[in-house]
Amino acid sequence: MPVCAPSGLRSRATRALSLISLAVLWTAACSSPAGGTPGTDPTAALPLPGPEDGRSGSEEGGDTSVDDEAVPPGDGPLGGRVVVIDPGHNGGNADAASEINSLVPAGNGEKACDTVGTESAGGYSEHEFNWDLSLLVQERLEADGATVILTREDNEGVGPCIDERAEIGNRNDADAALSIHADGGPESGRGFHVIAPGELAGLTEDIVEPSALLAEDIRREYREGTDVPYADYLAEDGLDERTDLGGLNLSEVPKVFLEAGNMRNAEDAELLEDPRWRADAADAIARGLAVYLMRD
C-alpha cells in the first residue's frame, strides 16, 4: 500500500470512501494527516455515498463545511467528471469477420475495425473479462459521482470499431478514457502493463503528457491493489508507449490501455477468472482513475 493510503477499508460499504480517501490524500501530497482539519479541502469533507445510496449520507457525516459548495444530493467527489471506459473487443466479433476485418482510420494508417481478443486455456474469453471488469469499475466511479460512459452496451454485439471507440471519448469530452484488455502473450510470461500514446505529430501531441500521468496512476494503484506483477515479457516496469493503436492515436482526451494480465499464463489466468480478484482489481483501477482526476 502507498504510505498515504488508508488501511482496512475493504468492505463494499466503504469502497467509495477508500477510493476517494486515497485520492484526496494523494492530491494533498500526504502533507496533512488523515482526519486533519475538515474544510481545508472541499472534497475531504464530502459525504461519500456507497454504491447503493441514492443520496448522500450527510446526516452521518455531521460536517456542514461543504454546504456552501452546493453539492447536489447524490453527487460525490468526482461529480462533474466524465470517464469513458472502453471494454476491449465484443462477444459478437467472432461471428462477424467481414465487419470487424474492414479497415478503418487508425491515425497513422488503417487497421482492422476490431479484433476477437484472446482467451484463457480454460476458455474464459477476454471480451467477457473486459466487460465484467469495466462494469465493476463503472460502479465504483459512479458511486463517487463520476459520469461513466461505456463504449459498448453489452457483451453480445459487434465492435464498435477502434476509431469509434476513440471518438466516444472525444465526443463526450472525457476527462479520462481507459481501454480495458487482457493480453494473449506467451504462456511463460506473466504480468500487466499500461499502454500510453506515443507522440505523433498532428495527432497525439496534446494527450501524451496527461496520458502518461494517467498511466502512472493506474499502474501504481493496480500494482498495489492486485497480485499481478509488471509484465515480464514486454513493456518496462509495467509501462509501454505505442503509436500503432488507433484507439490511442485518434483520442483527443487523455487515454491509456490497461492489459490487465496475460490470459495465456496459468497464474495470471487463475486471478483473472476469480470474481473476488476482479472486484479488487476494479477497486484499484477506480482508485487510479480517481487519483488522476483529482490531480488538478
The radius of gyration of the chain from alpha carbons, rounded to an integer in Å, stands at: 19
Buried b (16+ CB within 10 A) or exposed e, 46-61: bbbbeeeeeebeeeee
What is the C-alpha to C-alpha distance for residues 59 and 89, in angstroms, rounded to an integer?
44
**71 in Cβ contact with 58 (< 8 Å):** no
Q: Of the two residues 89 and 223, which places its CB atom closer to Zn ion in the complex?
A: 89
What is the C-alpha to C-alpha distance for residues 261 and 226, in angstroms, rounded to an integer?
10
Q: Closest separation between CB of residue 182 and Zn ion, Å?
A: 7
Task: Determine the size of the site formed for Zn ion (CB under 5 A).
Answer: 3
Q: Of the two residues 87 and 225, which places its CB atom closer to Zn ion in the complex?
A: 87
What is the C-alpha to C-alpha distance for residues 191 and 193, in angstroms, rounded to an integer?
7
> Interacting stretch for Zn ion, rule CB under 5 A, among 101-109, 110-118, 267-275, 276-284?
110-118
Q: How many CB atoms lie within 10 A of CB 105?
A: 15
Q: Which of 128, 259, 267, 270 is catalytic?
A: 259
> Interacting stretch for Zn ion, rule CB under 5 A, among 64-72, 83-91, 105-113, 201-209?
83-91
Fill in the per-residue mask, 166 to 195: x = in contact with Zn ion (CB under 5 A), - = not in contact: ---------------x--------------
Q: Of the two residues 81 and 111, which places its CB atom closer to Zn ion in the complex?
A: 111
E strand or H helix at 23: helix 15-27
Q: Of the two residues 86 and 283, which places its CB atom closer to Zn ion in the complex?
A: 86
Residue from 49, 76, 77, 88 touching Zn ion (CB under 5 A): that is 88
Q: Of the two residues 117 and 169, which places its CB atom closer to Zn ion in the complex?
A: 117
Using CB under 5 A as the binding rule, whether residue 198 contacts Zn ion is answered as no
Q: Closest separation between CB of residue 117 and Zn ion, Å?
A: 5
> Interacting stretch for Zn ion, rule CB under 5 A, among 63-71, 88-96, 238-246, 282-290?
88-96
Q: Closest separation between CB of residue 77 and Zn ion, Å?
A: 31
Give the CA diameter of the chain. 60
Confirm whether 187 is a catalytic residue. Answer: no
- For residue 30, which phi and psi values (nearest 5 degrees)? 60, 25
Q: Closest separation between CB of residue 257 and Zn ion, Å?
A: 8
179 is written with which cell numbers? Answer: 481501454
Using CB under 5 A as the binding rule, whether residue 117 contacts Zn ion is answered as yes
Is residue 149 exposed (0-12), middle (13-18) or buried (19+ Cβ within 10 Å)? middle
Look-up of cell digits 488501511? 7
Look-up of cell digits 463526450? 172
Using CB under 5 A as the binding rule, whether residue 152 contacts Zn ion is answered as no
**How do beta strands 193-197 and 255-262 pair?**
antiparallel
Q: Of the two residues 127 and 223, which places its CB atom closer to Zn ion in the complex?
A: 127
Which active-site residues does the annotation give? 259
Point out which residues bind Zn ion (CB under 5 A). 88, 117, 181
